[in-house]
Structure 1
Amino acid sequence: MESQTETHRKQKKWLRLLLFPLPLQGHVIPMLQLANLLYSKGFSITIIHTCFISSPKYPSKNPHFTFHSIPNGLSKSECSNADNLVSFISLLNANCAEPFRDCLVKLLSDVSDEPVAGLISDSTWKFTDSIAKSLQLPRFVLRTTNISSFLALAALPLLQEKGYLPKQESQEEKPVIELPPLKVKDIPVFKTQDQEGLHQTIAALVEQTKSCTGVIWNSFEELEHGSLTDFRYNFRVPIFPIGPLHKYFPVPSTSLLSQDQSAISWLNKQAPKSVIYVSFGSVASIEKSEFVEIAWGLANSEQPFLWVVRPGSVIGSEWLEPLPKGFMEEIKERGHVVKWAPQQEVLAHTAVGGFWTHSGWNSTLESFCEGVPMICHPCFGDQRVNARYVSDVWRIGVHLENKVDRFEIAKVVRKLLVEAEGHEIRDRILQFKKMADQSTQQQGSSYRSLESLVSQILSSQSQGKL
């Protein structure tokens, strides 16, 4: 009997999918992982991207994809201000709508011998909803956060009505009854002068979720069963939790930043499970005072550490200028500092015993999948929700909740790496690693969801011909 996959391959001959990632590392990586996954299922892939991420390495590392660049209309200074997320995304949405529509119209008219089966857009592109509808093109949405944090975002109008927002410092430890296990301080917030405008934009994006052809999640059923149940009840739209996306098969590096391989050479000299790996992602920035506390906290822990300090991530500094005098001499060979590291390779290394993370969803999933317990230090948005789930629900990490302090840092690092509580956390996360491994294997929950996604794409494309 012919398998479902083989039937799909025959049906999908010469079918093309258009993918449109947001030009930030945490969004580009899962979109390209999804592209490779759908290519393996028989679809042709076209990536529409803004000039912000134009790079020769994308076509060279992905020769099986077609790439189309559109202008973003941003000045050099506006591009360099990508760490102001709300402003940056707002500008992109204002500037890219018309170029995107022009590109889409051209692609739809140019591929009569290779029909377009649908569009997969990053959920943050607000204008793709109306453009896809006007062109009668099925539109799927890739959400690069998890389901739990999306439900928190969707609840912002209710939380405002209930008086949780705007946040008050005296209420930060108060539980959010409507969203257990969150506390008030965990409610997703973003830095902007126009909070009301931001909430309106988020509400519009949430509403658009209800009208798309389907929502693709980089998560899996066993991890977020409760949140998925809530989503299915409140949003009557097909959903496809097919993560962890990076677990299906190795794909070429999609990092927008140059990776320092000396991180691996240094790890090769360290004892098993002895190193704390520290990285706060590709966007977050910290104050100089925090940077100094982190430095001395790592030194005082007396544990080996691999520390990623992204150039420009310390406010007002180029790179390591704020390091305390004599710091490098103090740590000697016990610490290694790089500008960027090959994170998946680092987390898979036998020397790594813990991950001090900003709790971005990609990083959290990667830590899950390698069985590496976490120290959570969220900065903004969905990271706060992720950190609460890691520490209080899944209990596979420690939440660094108070003001950054060198003595607290040293204490938490030792707890995770050498104390009994850290060993208990490591045992628990190994169970989650097993669940993640099984989910993407044949007949696993994510594998089955992927098959359902393929069927939905084919069904939507067929209906579009009617």
Structure 2
Amino acid sequence: MDHQTPPSSPPHVLIFPLPLQGPIKCMLKLAELLCLAGDIHVTFLNTHHNHSRLLRYTALDSRFSVYPQFRFQTISDGLPDDHPRSIDRLGDLLNGLWTVTNPNFKELLNSGGGDRRPVTCVIADGALTFALDVAEEVGIPLIYFETISPCGLWTYFCVHKLIEAGEIPFQGDDLDAPIQSVPGMEGFLRRRDLPSFCRTTDLNDPVIQLAMRECRQVPRSRGLILNTFEDLDGPIGIDIKDTCERGVIEKMIKDLMNAKGDEFRQSMDRLSKLARESINVGEGGSSVCNLNRLIEDIRSMKV
């Protein structure tokens, strides 16, 4: 359906995290930052189960009650109430998201935001690959937020290379065997350093399939938010405002570990200081500058 927003209407962002603790925490922080922009309406889409737990065990209501333009909305994850939703049952969660959450998400976007102004931008976890298809069908720009590190994301991008090279699935229990098919990480990456789903013996494993699907979807999105700061990744070839290309990430990893590996490992105090400085408004920190770019991009989006 067509979504028409009056020119004077403020933008309305719908944030959709993967229903796991880490991604939810990252996206709640992003939601707060967008609310501080003042003129952006934010809807945080959470599953019924996780939202109930957040209300029970955190001060969620009081934390966000100061932002009148913010609201929570919930959606089913497709699992029964008594399901443990543990990481070792991730396949069940992914299946529920695809079979139940997917059509409900489409219905939500088609409704034009319910009792609020129409959604003008979706920010979704990169693992929610169906979200891009739905957003494109409805005509709403989508930005992916990868809450894992850029180094971890690059490993995801190389899963197909690992399979083609026969490095996964692997046999035996030697987790110190070197991995050679992740460009930029040759020589130091070991089996034990790969994401846990790489230890499966079944290439049809839903998590492996998700990783490959995710990397095909990312270049199609309106933009990509990375969980990093520019003083860490900027000097080694990655520019957060640009499209995330494989060659860029490869250069980042290679330069980091070959040229600056020792410095990186021995300078965590310095990096922690840089991370704090990156959010210092008075110093013009890189995270603040990139957040401002994101806000301006959201404001410019038309549906």
CA distance in 1, matches of 2:204, 2:78: 25
CA distance in 1, matches of 2:8, 2:290: 18
Name 1:62's counterpart in structure 2: 64
CA distance in 1, matches of 2:175, 2:42: 46
Q: Deviations over 1:115-150 (max 9, x none)?
A: 433011111212111110011001011111010100
Conserved in 2, the CA contact under 8 Å of 1:21 and 1:27?
A: yes
Name 2:20's counterpart in structure 1: 24
CA distance in 1, matches of 2:280, 2:115: 37
Of structures 1 and 2, the one scoring higher in RCO (CA 8 A, sep 6+) is 2
Gaps of 5+ in 2: 1-6, 249-260
**C-alpha deviation, 1:194, in angstroms:** 4.2
TM-score, normalised by the number of residues in structure 2 = 0.77
**C-alpha deviation, 1:440, in angstroms:** 1.6
**C-alpha deviation, 1:219, in angstroms:** 0.7
RMSD: 2.8
Q: Which amino acid aligns with 2:204?
A: E
Name 2:43's counterpart in structure 1: 46
Q: Deviations over 1:270-321 (max 9, x none)?
A: xxxxxxxxxxxxxxxxxxxxxxxxxxxxxxxxxxxxxxxxxxxxxxxxxxxx
CA distance in 2, matches of 1:27, 1:12: 32
**C-alpha deviation, 1:12, in angstroms:** 8.2
Please state if 1:432 is matched with 2:267.
no
Picking from 284, 289, 292, the partner of 1:448 is 289
Q: Deviations over 1:348-373 (max 9, x none)?
A: xxxxxxxxxxxxxxxxxxxxxxxxxx
CA distance in 1, matches of 2:87, 2:192: 25
Please state if 1:210 is matched with 2:49.
no
Give the alignment of 1:29-428 within 5 angstroms.
29-42=25-38, 43-55=40-52, 56=55, 57-63=59-65, 64=67, 65-108=70-113, 110-111=115-116, 114-169=117-172, 172-177=175-180, 178-180=183-185, 181-190=188-197, 194-198=202-206, 199-225=208-234, 226=236, 228=238, 232-234=244-246, 394-396=264-266, 428=267
Q: What secondary structure is seen at the aligned counterpart in 2 of 1:84?
A: helix
Conserved in 1, the CA contact under 8 Å of 2:223 and 2:243?
A: no
**C-alpha deviation, 1:436, in angstroms:** 0.7
**C-alpha deviation, 1:104, in angstroms:** 2.0
CA distance in 1, matches of 2:8, 2:238: 29
**C-alpha deviation, 1:20, in angstroms:** 1.1
Give the alignment of 1:1-16 within 5 angstroms.
14-16=10-12
Conserved in 1, the CA contact under 8 Å of 2:78 and 2:99?
A: no
Name 1:383's counterpart in structure 2: none
Conserved in 1, the CA contact under 8 Å of 2:224 and 2:243?
A: no
Q: Which amino acid aligns with 1:28?
A: I
**C-alpha deviation, 1:80, in angstroms:** 4.5
CA distance in 2, matches of 1:234, 1:446: 22
Conserved in 2, the CA contact under 8 Å of 1:148 and 1:227?
A: no
**C-alpha deviation, 1:16, in angstroms:** 1.4
**C-alpha deviation, 1:31, in angstroms:** 0.5
TM-score, normalised by the number of residues in structure 1 = 0.52
Q: Which amino acid aligns with 1:99?
A: N
Aligned CA distance change for structure 1 residues 156 and 169 (closer, same or farther; 3 Å): same
Conserved in 1, the CA contact under 8 Å of 2:16 and 2:123?
A: yes
CA distance in 2, matches of 1:179, 1:22: 28
Q: Which has the larger radius of gyration?
A: 1
